[in-house]
């Protein structure tokens, strides 16, 4: 394993990869004061430990990293050595520039280089940004992926640009999967479902797909469908309609906004879609329902 250091603007190898800001493997033999002061940047930074023990402060929280550990620092998060320097050992890292990052709306767009679909990157972003807290993962595959990326970029064989970008996607996919597994040991479905429910409620106007919901609890769609059906009696999408109509009812009874606003707020495609679904279930159109509840006065 040889050391390397590639930097955007300086290293010609990165010409086809404008999104890679920095990519390196370093064997650090000595401590140099102030070699890693805490700082925030605009890129996503992923670090992977091969040898040694690293004392780091991420968002002012102290972490100790050992070989096999990986951490990801989001844009705007503060990261540095706990004592301001890089500890002795071997590590690799990649810094990536993303197209859009908004911690408030939890949006993260990787950019054109990524082949992740819109839904996939939405879900990955949701999971990576779920608790805002920095995290540490045990993920030994990460080191090999980084080495493969290096191999592609330096050897420049046919298709290397595509392959390297695919590998970066893969890294994000594995990180996300590992994060859901690590956050949720997969023992308590009721509790996990409750958390998912809260996320759905907070983002009721998002057009949720089953794939997205399944990913949030770390299951494949088939297993997820079965679990939800068994636990709630409904398919995931029908359960979601339940929440949507229940929330809509509360708004119809309490708030002055118009029916279209309520429809969109609660995640229906249109006021028409809302009215049809609502009437099918309750026998009332939303306006009739509202009138009835005001007339009860």
Partner 1 sequence: MECIITIELGTNAVRVFAFDLKSNIIGSMKGSYPTFHTEPDYSEQDPEQIFITMLYVLKNFLTEKIHSKKYKVRSICFSASMHSVLAIDKKGVPLGNAITWADNRGKKEAQELKKHPLGKILYTATGTPIHPMSPLVRIAWIKDHDAQKFKASDKFVAIKTYIIQQLTGEYVLDYSLASATGLMNIHNLKWENDALYFAGITAGRLPDLVPVFYSAGKLRKEYQTSLGLSASTKIITGSSDGCLATLGAGVWGKGKAVITIEDSGAVRVAGKQVLQDEKQRFFNYLLTEKFYVSGGPTNNGGIIFDWFTKQFGDFKNRFDIEFCMEDLIHEASKIHAGSDGLLFLPYLLGERAPIWNANARGVYFGVNIKHERSHFIRATIEGILYEIYSIGKTLQEHRTINSLSINGSFASIPFCSQMIADIFNKPVNLRKNSDSIGLGAFLLCATDMGIYKTLEEAAQTVTLPDSYKPQKADHEMYMKYFPVFEKLSTKLSDEFGEIAGLQK
Q: Which residues bind partner 1 (CB under 8 A)?
A: 185-189, 192, 194, 197, 218-219, 223, 227, 231-234, 238, 241-243, 245-247, 249-250, 253-254, 279-284, 288, 293-294, 296-297
Shortest CB 294 distance to partner 1, Å: 7
By C-beta, is 9 or 190 nearer to partner 1? 190
Geometric angle at alpha carbon 172, from 109 and 63, rounded to 5°: 110
Shortest CB 270 distance to partner 1, Å: 20
DSSP-derived letter for residue 14 is: G
By C-beta, is 62 or 202 nearer to partner 1? 202
Q: For residue 97, which phi and psi values (nearest 5 degrees)? A: -85, 130
Short-list 110, 111, 105, 65, CA closest to 89: 65
Shortest CB 157 distance to partner 1, Å: 39
By C-beta, is 59 or 287 nearer to partner 1? 287
Q: How far apart are CA 152 and CA 165, in angstroms?
A: 10
By C-beta, is 9 or 233 nearer to partner 1? 233
By C-beta, is 1 or 194 nearer to partner 1? 194
Shortest CB 243 distance to partner 1, Å: 7
By C-beta, is 118 or 187 nearer to partner 1? 187
Given a contact cutoff of 8 angstroms between Cβ atoms, the answer to whether 278 and 241 are in contact is: no
By C-beta, is 89 or 218 nearer to partner 1? 218
Shortest CB 268 distance to partner 1, Å: 14
Geometric angle at alpha carbon 132, from 75 and 186, rounded to 5°: 125
- Write the Ramachandran bin of 103: left for phi over 0, alpha for psi from -120 to 50, otherwise beta: alpha
Q: What SS3 class is residue 28?
A: strand
By C-beta, is 66 or 234 nearer to partner 1? 234
**Neighbouring residues of 159: CB distance < 8 A, sequence distance ≥ 6:** none
Q: What SS3 class is residue 108?
A: strand
Shortest CB 201 distance to partner 1, Å: 9
Q: For residue 46, which phi and psi values (nearest 5 degrees)? A: -115, 125
Q: How far apart are CA 132 and CA 122, in angstroms?
A: 16
Shortest CB 288 distance to partner 1, Å: 8
Tokens standing for residue 186: 């997969």
Q: How far apart are CA 81 and CA 55, in angstroms?
A: 6
Shortest CB 214 distance to partner 1, Å: 11
């Amino acid at each position: 394993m040889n050391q390397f250091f590639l930097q955007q603007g300086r290293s010609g190898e990165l010409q086809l990869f404008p999104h890679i800001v920095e990519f390196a493997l370093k064997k650090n033999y000595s401590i140099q004061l102030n070699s890693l002061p805490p700082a925030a940047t605009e890129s996503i930074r992923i670090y992977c430990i091969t040898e040694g023990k690293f004392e780091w402060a991420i968002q002012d929280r102290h972490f100790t990293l050992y070989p096999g550990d990986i951490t990801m620092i989001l844009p705007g998060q503060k990261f540095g050595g706990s004592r301001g320097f890089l500890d002795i050992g071997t590590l690799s890292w990649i810094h990536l520039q993303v197209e859009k990052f908004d911690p408030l709306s939890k949006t993260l767009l990787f950019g054109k280089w990524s082949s992740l679909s819109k839904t996939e990157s939405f879900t990955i972003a949701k999971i990576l940004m779920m608790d805002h807290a920095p995290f540490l993962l045990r993920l030994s595959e990460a080191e090999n992926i980084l080495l493969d990326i290096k191999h592609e970029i330096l050897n420049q064989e046919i298709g290397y640009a595509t392959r390297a970008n695919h590998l970066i996607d893969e890294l994000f996919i594995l990180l996300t999967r590992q994060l859901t597994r690590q956050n949720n040991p997969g023992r308590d479905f009721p509790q996990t479902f409750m958390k998912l429910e809260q996320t759905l409620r907070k983002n009721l106007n998002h057009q949720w797909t089953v794939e997205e919901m399944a990913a949030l609890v770390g299951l494949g769609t088939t297993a997820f469908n079965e679990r939800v059906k068994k636990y709630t009696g409904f398919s995931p999408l029908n359960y979601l309609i339940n929440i949507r109509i229940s929330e809509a009812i509360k708004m119809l009874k309490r708030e002055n906004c118009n029916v279209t606003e309520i429809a969109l707020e609660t995640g229906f495609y249109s006021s028409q879609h809302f009215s049809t679904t609502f009437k099918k279930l309750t026998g009332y159109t939303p306006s009739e329902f509202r009138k009835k509840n005001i007339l009860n006065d």
